[in-house]
């Protein structure tokens, strides 16, 4: 990933034209404290008539309770919008002043903001910046810079961010859980914070913004270590095979994804205020696997997935997110890897790993930007099937020949995640990558949980009688009846597994049981309709969905109660 080279002494920056880089003249190597402030101005995206830029200020003088940064453009650049600063412009002169939440700037402290602008002709980087009237020097760097051997290290990332750390409890989810009868038993469990639309960055309908969550994470952290889990989930043409979770961006709106969604998130996560947090991202669930299983010539192909495969915007979006977020030294990127009931077949497993590699090396990303992968996100596949194994033979047939397993190579998420990890390492991912498994809804406890193998009358009675996963078909994914809370979040539970997590907050719907008008861009998928008789993706079985569900992400009390009732391990 590209690093920033710091010019330690510069009175002026040499303008680098439209390359988006401010290059400082360095006559000597003196200490950083010799200059009152440094400014890192980067043009991150430039499409010929417009651009986005990020700016990082480092204060080397006395601590400040407010700040104002000024510069002038040599061309006709116009700032159209900004984030994390109040940005105004008069003629060629631009002023960026702090927001109420980021006015404090300690000695040696840094803060970042970003903006979007338009221009024609050239887009030269400003030559001079002043912070509260004092001229700063300029750090150089940009998205096209080659690696520099003198660059600082990427940060002090630990091998497993969950080791020795608390995990963030989302107060908004916790309050909803605690308000349910019996919900206080799990209301203190850590869950993922879903950034499922651009508005979520600043908070929706008076809810917590990303900064609010990060500030609360610092409070919960205290003097120890803390992980906060974020779900990055807003690709253009999102969820091409599942209408319930369609998003706000159309299939071609990759530039909006980059400049209005990923760039602002990166700017916030890169704020030095949050440098002590371990920030885990789950990157774009249910996206890349669709490009393997739900495209022509597969029987499960959908026109929307064919479009996303053809335009490449899933690959570009994931690569861009990994590249940009991976530049933040305390961010740990985990890429979504589907689940065994989706990708466990021979013709899906290897091609999916290859697709993950393609995305991890797109848009400037490298495999070093990937800390690991996450399986079973927001799904229901059992963690470990104890009553049968893939190598068993019953009545002259392999378990793989059963209707439930259907020639899959894997029977559960643990075996799938461990095998996928090995496959990913074999094609070039770092040998230290770890896996996460979402266990929020895969417990399958309660009265229907088998206590031993099924009858050996046939391979089907053997598997069906012994399997914990009680779904009608492993392709069923929406608000599944009979599901329960799974293993509680924990670090390092098995070889190659960084953690069991509750990335999907229990009680939040997968999708509505019928069409419901909404302003969130979310459609209606028949797989969420309990009367639906299925499609090729679930072998034309009933959907197994609960009735009366709200749109995806909204609180579903009946499901929450069922998850608690069927929890395994049981709730006390």
Mean pLDDT for the chain overall = 89
Cβ atoms of 487 and 439 closer than 8 Å? yes
Torsion of CA 170, 175, 179, 182, to 10 degrees: 30
Task: Report the SS3 class of residue 137.
Answer: strand
* Cα–Cα distances in angstroms (integers) from residue 464 to residues 15, 57, 386, 447, 449, in the given order: 69, 61, 13, 15, 11
Enumerate the active-site residues. 286, 510
What integer pLDDT is reported at residue 155 of this predicted model?
Answer: 55
Structure confidence at residue 496 (pLDDT): 95
**Nearest residue to 113 via CA among 130, 129, 96:** 96
What pLDDT tens digit does each residue of the chain (572 aa) get? 332 222 222 223 323 333 343 322 222 333 334 578 888 888 877 778 888 888 888 888 889 999 999 999 988 999 998 888 899 999 999 999 998 888 889 888 888 888 888 988 888 888 888 999 888 875 433 333 344 343 334 457 999 999 999 999 999 999 999 999 999 999 999 999 999 999 999 999 899 999 999 999 999 999 999 999 999 999 999 999 887 778 899 999 999 999 999 999 999 999 999 999 999 999 999 999 999 999 999 999 999 999 999 999 999 999 999 999 999 999 999 999 999 999 999 999 999 999 999 999 999 999 999 999 999 999 999 999 999 999 999 999 999 999 999 999 999 999 999 999 999 999 999 999 999 999 999 999 999 999 999 999 999 999 999 999 999 999 999 999 999 999 999 999 999 999 999 999 999 999 999 999 998 878 898 999 999 999 888 999 999 999 999 998 999 999 999 999 999 999 98
Is residue 172 within 8 A of residue 207, CB to CB? The reply is yes
CB atoms within 10 A of CB 407: 12
Residue 269 in tokens: 């996560």
Query: What's the pLDDT score for residue 139?
Result: 43
- Quote the tokens at residue 523: 């459609």
In this prediction, residue 149 carries a pLDDT of 40
The 3 state secondary structure assigned to 183-217 is HHHCCCCCCCEEECCHHHHCCCCCCCCHHHHHHHH
Do residues 376 and 344 make contact, with C-beta atoms less than 8 angstroms apart? no
SS3 category, 410: coil
In the Cβ-directed half-sphere of 222, how many Cα atoms lie within 13 Å?
5
Q: Which residue has the tokens 């009675």?
A: 461
Residues with Cβ within 8 Å of 246's Cβ and at least 6 positions away in sequence, in order, are: 238, 239, 521, 522, 523
């Amino acid at each position: 990933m590209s690093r920033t080279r710091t010019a330690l002494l510069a009175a002026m920056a040499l303008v680098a034209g439209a390359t988006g880089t401010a290059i400082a003249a360095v006559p000597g190597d003196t200490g950083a404290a010799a200059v009152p402030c440094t400014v890192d101005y980067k043009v991150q995206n430039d499409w010929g008539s417009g651009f986005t830029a990020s700016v990082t200020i480092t204060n080397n003088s006395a601590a400040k309770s407010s700040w104002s940064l000024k510069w002038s453009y040599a061309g006709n650049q116009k700032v159209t919008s900004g984030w994390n600063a109040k940005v105004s412009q008069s003629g060629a002169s631009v002023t960026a002043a702090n927001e109420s939440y980021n006015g404090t700037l300690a000695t040696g402290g840094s803060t970042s903001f970003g903006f979007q602008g338009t221009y024609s002709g050239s887009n030269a980087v400003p030559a001079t910046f002043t912070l509260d009237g004092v001229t700063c020097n300029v750090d150089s760097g940009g998205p096209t810079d080659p690696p520099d051997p003198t660059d600082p290290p990427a940060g002090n990332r630990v091998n497993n961010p969950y080791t020795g750390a608390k995990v963030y409890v989302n107060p908004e989810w916790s309050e909803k859980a605690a308000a349910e009868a019996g919900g206080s038993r799990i209301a203190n469990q850590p869950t993922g914070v879903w950034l499922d639309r651009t508005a979520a960055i600043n908070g929706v309908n008076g809810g917590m913004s990303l900064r609010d969550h990060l500030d609360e994470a610092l409070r919960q952290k205290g003097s120890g270590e803390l992980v906060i889990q974020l779900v990055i989930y807003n690709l253009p043409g999102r969820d091409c095979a599942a209408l319930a979770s369609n998003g706000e961006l159309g299939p071609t709106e990759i530039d909006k994804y980059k400049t209005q969604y990923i760039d602002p998130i990166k700017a916030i996560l890169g704020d030095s205020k949050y440098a002590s947090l371990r920030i885990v991202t789950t990157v774009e669930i249910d996206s890349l696997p669709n490009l393997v299983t739900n495209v022509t010539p597969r029987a499960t192909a959908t026109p929307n997935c064919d479009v996303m495969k053809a335009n490449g915007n899933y690959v570009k979006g994931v690569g861009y997110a990994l590249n940009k977020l991976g530049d933040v030294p305390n961010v740990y990127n985990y890429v979504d890897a589907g689940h065994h009931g989706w990708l466990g077949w021979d013709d899906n497993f290897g091609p999916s790993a290859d697709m993950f590699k393609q995305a991890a090396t797109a848009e400037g990303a490298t495999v070093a930007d990937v800390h690991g992968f996450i399986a079973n996100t927001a799904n229901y596949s059992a963690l470990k099937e104890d009553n049968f194994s893939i190598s068993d033979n019953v009545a002259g047939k392999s378990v793989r020949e059963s209707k439930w397993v259907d020639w899959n190579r894997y029977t559960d998420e643990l075996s799938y995640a461990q095998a996928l990890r090995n496959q990913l390492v074999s094609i070039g991912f770092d040998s230290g990558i770890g896996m996460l498994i979402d266990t929020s809804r895969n417990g399958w406890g309660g009265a229907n949980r088998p206590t031993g193998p099924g009858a050996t009358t046939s391979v089907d009675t053997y598997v069906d009688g012994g399997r914990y996963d009680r779904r009608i078909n492993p392709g069923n994914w929406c608000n599944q009846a009979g599901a329960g809370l799974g293993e509680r979040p924990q670090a390092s539970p098995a070889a190659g597994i960084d953690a069991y997590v509750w990335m999907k907050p229990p009680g939040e719907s997968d999708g509505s049981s019928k069409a419901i008008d909404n302003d969130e861009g979310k459609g209606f998928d028949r797989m969420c309709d309990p009367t639906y008789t299925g499609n090729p993706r679930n072998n034309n079985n009933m959907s197994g969905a609960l009735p009366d569900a709200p749109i995806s992400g909204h609180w579903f009390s009946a499901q929450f109660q069922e998850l608690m009732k069927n929890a395994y391990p049981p709730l006390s």
